[in-house]
Chains A and B, each alone.
Chain A
């Protein structure tokens, strides 16, 4: 099993002053798996991503990728080791075009040469429906296109672990279905995915397992069906009292 584990988190903890935002969270993610993360607002989901990507330093616990520790590594190193992420609030390089936004991780994280990176990024723009906006400044894109750009940019770094933070919000049903298809294709190519999402039908359509957080504490973990039947999850996340 350990050979199958790509990311391992043990007792991960993050405090902001007196508030513990992520509290002793332990989980594994297997290679090629899609792990969904659920939880009400303020549950610590995005902070958990920040701990994995290195945007925040953990106060406790251990984190390893491919069996080697991640804690001491800064965000750029983690990206170069194969962790790609999107931000819940899109963080594009506003004065660079959509195409140039993708060239950054392609050349600096995946270390592709200019010509190879150009081909690769153009392909991703087409995959994500952004080809027509390739030369538009990212700061001038609509919110929806910015969200697409977040995903496209994360993919441009050729990640082996992809952290998706609420990328389906605001999509139409057809766009949501396209996104699910894209995520399936990525998984089939061997990309491991952790996906925070409130659009449940999209997440459940593709997640192999789901982990639920509440006030920073892991309250459930398992297959989507089992987790959604969990009375504690139903109470906390859906407001259904047993």
Chain B
């Protein structure tokens, strides 16, 4: 029997240090955009940040908690609407209201989860879609929020274009820190260990001390909050929200595409997938339905032949994580 005299646990890698440095540089570049980029580029950056955040939250849900939701648009819509109501109807500063707007998805997520928690796999997915549709239909019939006609964020006219752009890039930086940074922090913590175990084998995880039910609930609510914040920022930048847009099932299909193509169950995968989707949309969006068919086929090919997505393929070339969540045991001296 071996006896260990000295050991340590390594977590950071050279690749992660490079990625961290690059990430910080990207964040600074993002925040500085109003001084070097065009308004069009800033709009693109806001959109991309929202895609990354929404996909990252869906990745936490489906990739770790095993909760495949096709109804995340419910949280995008309710957060967007609460922002518009607070800013437009109650006179709350919109840049404060955007943070308050996450109350709506959090409040909606609790009964949604309690209602759907006993459903498995496809039944859970259908349940989330039903909830999102129900919320969309309800919103379409509430006169207070202009029913189907939607709302416009007129209060934003009090700010100059430059002020708005500065605020938006700061909000995007906060969004990325909260969703990517939050996921990274979570996955490195003891809760991340539990979450990864739950992803691999929920029954065995429960028998090893993991409170699977509570963890799933917390992830569902946290993902709703993160998704809602992204939705609120997105529609704040659009200056307009309607039930058809805010609760559009497109948000769910986009999340599924991004995470599956990028690589489910990894922070890197959601980022790569979002970049692929964003640039594919910019470059080939003009081809309309043909472009959507190609995206669908790409998802199918990945699902059939490369379950780990693009990140999984890159990992086969070498283990170089950008966000290392593993614990590597290094025995330095043994007898």
Contact = CB atoms under 8 A, between A and B. Distances in A.
B206 interface: yes
Contacts of A129: 1
Nearest to B211: A76
A75 B210 CA distance: 9
Interface string A125-160: 111010100110000000000000000010001000
A104 B193 CA distance: 6
B1 A93 contact: no
Contacts of A99: 327-329
Given A96-B200, A118-B7, A131-B331, A108 B193 contact: yes
Contacts of B328: 97, 99, 135
Interface in B193-222: 193-194, 196-197, 199-201, 203-213
B304 interface: no
A55 B207 contact: yes
Interface in A37-59: 53-55
B114 interface: no
Nearest to A111: B209
A3 interface: no
Interface residues of B, number: 32
Interface stretch (A84-92, A203-211, A223-231): A84-92
A222 interface: no
Contacts of A85: 207
Given A104-B210, A126-B2, A93 B329 contact: no
A80 B209 contact: yes
Contact of B190 (A53, A76, A114, A121): A114
A80 B213 CA distance: 15
Contact of A122 (B199, B207, B213, B331): B331
A75 B206 CA distance: 6
A109 B207 CA distance: 9
Given A91-B203, A118-B7, A118-B9, A104 B326 contact: no
A214 B211 CA distance: 34
Given A103-B327, A118-B9, A126-B4, A153 B208 contact: yes
A194 to B, nearest CB: 15
Contact of B209 (A55, A109, A119): A109
8 contacts: A75-B206, A79-B206, A79-B207, A104-B194, A104-B197, A123-B4, A129-B1, A157-B209
Interface of B: 1-4, 7, 9, 190, 193-194, 196-197, 199-201, 203-213, 265, 326-329, 331, 334
Given A93-B201, A100-B196, A104-B193, 12 more contacts: A91-B204, A96-B197, A97-B326, A97-B328, A99-B327, A100-B326, A114-B9, A125-B329, A126-B334, A131-B4, A157-B208, A157-B209
Leading 6 A-B pairs by shortest Cβ distance:
A109-B209, A93-B200, A91-B204, A108-B209, A105-B208, A75-B206
